[in-house]
Amino acid sequence: MTDEFFTTASELKTRGEPFAAVTVVRNESPSSGKTGDKAIFGKNGLLAGWIGGGCVYSIAMKEVSDALEDGKTRFVRVSPHPKSDAPSGVKEYKMTCHSGGTVDLFIEPVMPRPHLIVLGKSVIGRALLRIAKAADFSLTIVNDEATHDAFPDADHWQTQFDLSGMAFDDRTFIVVSTQGDHDEQALEAALSVTCRYVGFVGSRKKRDGVFDYLKKKGISEARLKAVHAPVGLDINGKTPEEVAISILAEIIREYRTQDVSKIQFTATKNEPVAEQTPEESGPKRPQIITNPVCGMPISLGMAKYIVETEGEPIYFCCDGCKNKFDAEPEKYG
């Protein structure tokens, strides 16, 4: 079991897929999950290991879904008699399954590394790669001389400004650091994809000239206004390394503080931003429904019983809840 847990975690990290490690840190019999049990959950369910079934699984799945959205750890207690004065930081749920017992879970989300794409081969771009590597970013360098030998700090190398083959999400950041070498082409490529942040290294005069060119190419004023230019926090940096630090500081501030759920990304440079529901714009979540008897969340695929009433399905996590519903269905209508 332990080998499967760590193997799965390693494979997911290598692929850059988000997941959560869930560990039973304490239990009271007769719970099926025992202290030390652990499992890997992806956004759609259990991938490896064991922490218990029934109520515990469904509650873990709900909390994992939330953890993969906000990136925060959580401590969850499932017990027959939850306390109204639970310790700070402990989220309590009622154990409604017949097995009973108490299970304490520690849920730790493991998110993909933020991805920085640097377009260009300037000294500031090179310095930015070195500093971002120390901050554990995944790094891609794009220019006509991009090789491992020329840019050893990068993880990926591409010689063309065409970015269409890359994957982009709310952890992707692009910095155009061409500094006179194909500025317009590089920034146009950066604005043709969906990502969290685009920065342009250059003076205000340079920025205005490049923006005027891109407006004539059909890129909207709104899209250009979203570009961080001049890029970086104003720390009065002079050397390439100091400028790179200011750029990375701005990226980290964006990454750590802004509410991604409120950001709308433009898919292409010429199309308006489409209105999106939270479900469309965020990561896909497993469908969570509520057991009408105990009020517990249930991952849709893990419901033990499904009863149809007046054409509508009702989901139950365990025998006890279904039996209570069967005895008094009108009570839970």
Residues 88 and 142 in one domain: no
Element housing 131 (H / E)? helix 123-134
Q: What is the pLDDT of residue 228?
A: 97
Pairs from 258-261 (Cβ < 8 Å, separation ≥ 24):
260/170, 260/196, 261/69
Residues 264 and 136 in one domain: yes
Domain end: 110, 138, 160, which one? 110
Domain end: 110, 140, 173, which one? 110
Question: Distances in Å between the alpha carbon of 182 and those of 81, 142, 186?
Answer: 66, 12, 6
Q: What is the pLDDT of residue 287?
A: 59
Domain assignment present for 137? yes
Residues 54 and 171 in one domain: no
Per-residue DSSP letter, 302: G
Helix (H, G, I), strand (E, B) or coil at 35: coil
Do 196 and 263 meet the contact criterion of CB atoms below 8 Å apart?
Answer: yes
Residues 268 and 295 in one domain: no
Residues 106 and 139 in one domain: no
Per-residue DSSP letter, 172: E
Domain assignment present for 45? yes
Residues 262 and 121 in one domain: yes
Do 58 and 297 meet the contact criterion of CB atoms below 8 Å apart?
Answer: yes
- The domain spanning residue 137 has which CATH number? 3.40.50.720
Q: Which among 171, 35, 166 is positioned nearest to 112, based on CA atoms?
A: 171
Domain assignment present for 279? no
User: Token pair for residue 129?
Assistant: 């790669």
Give the pLDDT confidence of 178-237 residue by residue, as tens digits.
Answer: 999 999 999 999 999 989 999 999 999 999 999 999 999 999 999 999 999 999 999 999
Domain assignment present for 278? no
Residues 292 and 211 in one domain: no
Whole-number Å distance between alpha carbons of 310 and 319: 21
Helix (H, G, I), strand (E, B) or coil at 220: coil
Q: Which among 115, 107, 155 is positioned nearest to 255, based on CA atoms?
A: 115
Q: Which among 100, 103, 95, 71 is positioned nearest to 170, based on CA atoms?
A: 71
Give the torsion sign (CA, 197, 201, 203, 205): negative
Do 21 and 9 meet the contact criterion of CB atoms below 8 Å apart?
Answer: yes
Domain end: 76, 110, 144, which one? 110
Low-confidence ranges of the chain (pLDDT < 70): 1, 97-99, 258-289, 294-305, 310, 316-320, 333
Q: What is the pLDDT of residue 284?
A: 47
Residue 224 bridge partners (DSSP): none
Residues in the chain: 333
Residues 264 and 300 in one domain: no
Q: Give the count of domains, the chain.
A: 3
Residues 196 and 224 in one domain: yes
Per-residue DSSP letter, 128: H
Residues 134 and 252 in one domain: yes
Whole-number Å distance between alpha carbons of 114 and 130: 15
Do 119 and 142 meet the contact criterion of CB atoms below 8 Å apart?
Answer: yes
Do 232 and 175 meet the contact criterion of CB atoms below 8 Å apart?
Answer: no
Do 283 and 260 meet the contact criterion of CB atoms below 8 Å apart?
Answer: no
Per-residue DSSP letter, 218: T
Domain assignment present for 282? no
Q: Which among 119, 245, 263, 129 is positioned nearest to 191, based on CA atoms?
A: 119
Do 69 and 283 meet the contact criterion of CB atoms below 8 Å apart?
Answer: yes
Domain assignment present for 59? yes
Count Cα neighbours of 156 within 13 Å in the Cβ-side half-sphere.
Answer: 16
Structural domain of 196: 115-272
Residues 79 and 124 in one domain: no
Residues 103 and 143 in one domain: no
Residue 244: what residue type?
A: A
Count CB neighbours of 39 within 10 A. Answer: 25
What's the pTM value of the predicted model, to 2 decimals?
Answer: 0.66
